[in-house]
């Protein structure tokens, strides 16, 4: 359902020079599975997700999402994907229901379809209480739920979420985690980024540890625990990341070049 092969993205920055934001990322994700990209700030998570969602063109490498190539069939990919960006602008003057309906129409849904889907998403995301209120007065959690609902109004097979619980309180984060779990139960393919260790432990079928644009290690929680002889995800993460950092800083300049 998602297959990434050698996905690479280089940026050219005046001050920093060439930046390898994503470096040869490969993985396969089946339907009904949740993949968590775990990484610190600047690790390359957003860049990878944006390439999968067709918002960025890979410098090299390929990916297919829902059976379509991101480079040659971006429209088909977009029709089958819901992408939740880390910060989504919402129109404050609309109510949540109006905003969701607006995106439903953009996706070619009829008004009855929009009504059915909105009712379902609202129930699943605990939005009933504020569905008909204006977004401008919403809390961060209410805004995030609205963003998720508008992202998924067309019921896509693949969901790509960039830090969906960032900045949310425990209750709102729990609702979203439960929602993502329900999506998996309905056979959706979910890939999402986070730096919250406990969340990947609870939620993900596969965890990918990203650092410096590279996918350093990936596997089930059980795989990672066995491989690193450690049960705590935070410890595993730190070990994986520091072993690479130590390697690169101990290498001679020639070896690094």
Applying CB under 6 A, the residues found at the interface with ligand ATP are: 11, 13, 19, 21, 39, 41-47
Smallest distance, Å, CB 151 to ligand ATP? 18
Smallest distance, Å, CB 92 to ligand ATP? 24
Contacting residues for 242 by C-beta, under 8 A, at least 6 apart: none
Choice between 51 and 131, CB closer to ligand ATP:
51
Choice between 12 and 137, CB closer to ligand ATP:
12
Choice between 163 and 201, CB closer to ligand ATP:
163
Smallest distance, Å, CB 148 to ligand ATP? 18
137 — phi, psi (to 5°)?
-100, 10
State both tokens at 234.
């935070």
Dump the DSSP string for 137-201.
G--HHHHHHHHHHHHTTT--SEEEEESTTTT--HHHHHHHHHHHHHHHHTT-EEEEEE--HHHHH
Choice between 141 and 213, CB closer to ligand ATP:
213
Choice between 32 and 212, CB closer to ligand ATP:
212
Smallest distance, Å, CB 116 to ligand ATP? 34
Length of the chain, in residues: 257
Give the ranges where the chain is alpha helix by DSSP (H): 45-52, 74-79, 96-106, 111-124, 140-151, 170-185, 197-203, 221-228, 233-250, 253-256
Smallest distance, Å, CB 185 to ligand ATP? 27
């Amino acid at each position: 359902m998602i297959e990434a092969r050698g996905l690479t993205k280089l940026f050219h920055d005046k001050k920093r020079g060439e930046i390898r934001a994503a470096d040869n990322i490969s993985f396969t994700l089946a339907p009904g599975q949740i993949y968590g990209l775990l990484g610190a700030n600047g690790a390359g998570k957003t860049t990878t997700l944006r390439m999968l969602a067709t918002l960025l063109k890979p410098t090299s490498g390929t990916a297919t999402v829902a059976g379509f190539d991101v480079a040659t069939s971006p429209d088909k990919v977009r029709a089958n994907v819901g992408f939740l960006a880390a910060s989504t602008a919402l129109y404050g003057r609309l109510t949540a229901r109006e905003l969701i309906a607006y995106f439903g129409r953009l996706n070619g849904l009829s008004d009855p379809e929009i009504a059915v889907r909105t009712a379902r998403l609202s129930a699943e995301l605990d939005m009933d209480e504020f569905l008909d209120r204006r977004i401008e007065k919403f809390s961060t959690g209410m805004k995030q739920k609205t963003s998720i609902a508008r992202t998924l109004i067309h019921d896509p097979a693949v969901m790509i979420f960039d830090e969906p619980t960032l900045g949310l309180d425990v209750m709102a984060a729990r609702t979203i985690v439960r929602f993502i779990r329900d999506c998996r139960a309905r056979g959706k393919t979910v890939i999402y980024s986070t730096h919250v260790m406990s969340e990947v432990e609870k939620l993900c079928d596969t965890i990918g540890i990203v650092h410096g644009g590279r996918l350093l290690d990936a596997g089930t929680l059980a795989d990672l625990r066995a491989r690193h002889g450690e049960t705590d995800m935070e410890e595993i993460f730190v070990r994986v990341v520091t072993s690479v950092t130590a390697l690169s800083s101990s290498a001679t300049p020639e070896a690094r070049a």
